[in-house]
Amino acid sequence: MDFDAIVIGSGMSGGMAAKELTERGLKVLVLERGRNIERGKKEDQTDWMQPWDLPNGGNVPEDELAADYPVQGQCYALSSATKHLFVKDSEHPYKTPEGKPFSWIRGYHLGGRSIMWGRQTYRLSQMDFEANARDGIGSDWPIRYDDIAPWYSHVENFIGVSGSREGLPQLPDGDFLPPFALNDGELAFKAAVESRFPGRKVIPGRAANLSEARPHHQELGRAPCKVRSLCERGCMFGAYHSSLNSSLPAAERTGNLTVITDAIVHSIVYDPASGKATGVQVVDAKTKAGSTYKAKVIFCCASTIGTAQILLNSASEAMPRGLANGSDMVGRNLMDHLYQMLTVATFDNLPDTYYFGRRPTGFYIPRYRNLNGNDEPFLRGYGFQGGFSRKGGASAALAQAGIGEELKARARELGPWTLFLAGFGEVLPNPENRVTLDKSETDQWGIPLVNISCAFGENERKMTETVQADGRAMAEAAGGTVTASISGGSPPGLGIHEMGTACMGKDPGKSVLNKWNQTHEVPNLFITDGAAMASSGCQNPSLTYMALSARAADTAASMLSEGVL
């Protein structure tokens, strides 16, 4: 059977592309390299587990971590309740040069990493879309904020984003549900920071969790957030956006969707006579049998590194460097955000109060550096994500010996308010940070392994120093005692915001995609995952991926109906 469109990948971008294409009447095939999982199935989504249900108290045994999850185990979300949603590194190897670690966090299953994502949902600003042109670094975005703003609104309305309207040009407002309120510790911190540091704002974190469910959310079986903060396990209530909760069910109800799981894409077939892609070659993950599916349009949404791998492995006599790689930019400009620049502080000057539930978000401090030109020793900027909590109670009481009234009294005691403040910084595009194919080793399906060579540069080093100084200064200005400060940050990849390997651009000689996310050289091939990003901003990028996917799907459907493709 031939299709109007094939979408490679079922995660954040692929799910949105499939929804938009099917809703426009196209017959769409989604190819997912991982296994099928089902929303609400207890074996797949484990948010039903109580603490006493968790194997090993939620921990993965050290020997198992070392053998199967040495990279995935670096992710905060991996536990005995979620390990089935992460790949085993022992089964999915890749290569990095000596001294250049890259932590590639992956989930191969229907819905991909949209099941486990952190759900922080922010728009890029006009400043971000102009950054490369202004600084002369990387490929100038072929679009600006006004081009994508309507699609940001479109996606926000569909997925549901909680947040507050702040009127900040560096962090545009969106179509928001009511925000999750700041707790008493955060309100005190907000007052201190905003009074002591003009230009800095502490706002509720914008999250793709339903603080309330609108009718179109309810139609898809979604309910408001229950404030349990178990999101990385999946959600039986569909209270946060994922492909499994939202995009794929919306596509399925059109009757135009076909999904094939355990379908590992080997390459995209290119016809030099027509100048178009004609189909996708697939290897069955279980049987290793090969097959080819044909379509008029192909959307590659296999994730930043996965998309680069597919394009490079699609080399042919007509395109010897890889499909759509006449510019030699496929695989280059790999970016991730500076991550894990953490400040921890305790406070004894805050109200003796507590809070309801476990919100799925905390607070956000939008970028405040280099807003009016480059007046810092580094380019671009950073933001902070954080939150206040209080420990103690029953868990702390049970950690010590005791019985009777003494134990009960300890269980009623709460510890001090504790601040966790983490910086997220922009990383500059650098063509030497890249993905290539290994010439000597393949995976178990006969596909060349990827080599990932990526390192932060001097601009990132200078930024990291300022992030750490700012984190400490804000904590101490609010009356806190800093108890921990992680100054080195983490290796690239661990921010799980990898992007840039098939960037958009105005110049076909310096980019892979045009303003509609079409490859310059293959007009019916669209790329809308993180690979398309020309710069990273410092905001969490998933909303931008989805907006680009929706916009490109609308364009592709129009081009098909008009006979352009």
Q: Domain boundaries in the chain? A: 1-44+87-120+248-336+431-454+502-565, 161-240+338-425+456-491
Report the relative pairing of strands 382-392 and 290-300 from DSSP bridges: unpaired
Question: Binning pLDDT at 50, 70 and 90, where does residue 365 land?
Answer: very high
When pLDDT is cut at 50, 70 and 90, the band that residue 404 belongs to is confident
Residue 524 binned pLDDT confidence (cut-offs 50, 70, 90)? very high
Read off the pLDDT band of 398 (50, 70, 90): low
Residue range 315-359, pLDDT digits in tens = 999 999 999 999 999 999 999 999 989 999 999 999 999 999 999
Q: With a cut of 80, say whether residue 397 has pLDDT above it.
A: no
Model confidence over 267-287: pLDDT tens digits?
999 999 999 999 999 999 999
On the question of pLDDT at 394 being above 70, the answer is no
pLDDT surpasses 70 at 396:
no
The answer to whether residue 528 scores a pLDDT higher than 60 is yes
395: confidence class by pLDDT, cuts 50, 70, 90? low
Q: How far apart are CA 298 and CA 31, in angstroms?
A: 11
pTM: 0.96
- Return the C-alpha torsion angle 491, 312, 521, 133, nearest 10: 20
SS3 (DSSP) at 412: coil
Q: Report the pLDDT averaged over residues 287-297.
A: 98
The CATH code of the domain at 1-44+87-120+248-336+431-454+502-565 is: 3.50.50.60
Confidence band, pLDDT 50/70/90 cuts, at residue 490: confident
The pLDDT score that the predictor gives to residue 412 is 75
Beta bridge partners of 365: 384
pLDDT, residue 42, reads 87
Per-residue pLDDT tens digits for 127-153: 999 999 999 999 999 999 999 999 999
Per the prediction, the chain carries an average pLDDT of 96
- Asked whether 7 and 13 are in contact (CB, 8 A), the reply is no
Cα separation, 411 vs 332, in Å, equals: 54
Dist. CA 410–CA 393, nearest whole Å? 7
Structure confidence at residue 385 (pLDDT) = 98
Res 393: pLDDT: 63
Q: What is the pLDDT of residues 471-484, one digit of tens each?
A: 999 999 999 999 99
* Amino acid at the residue 154: H
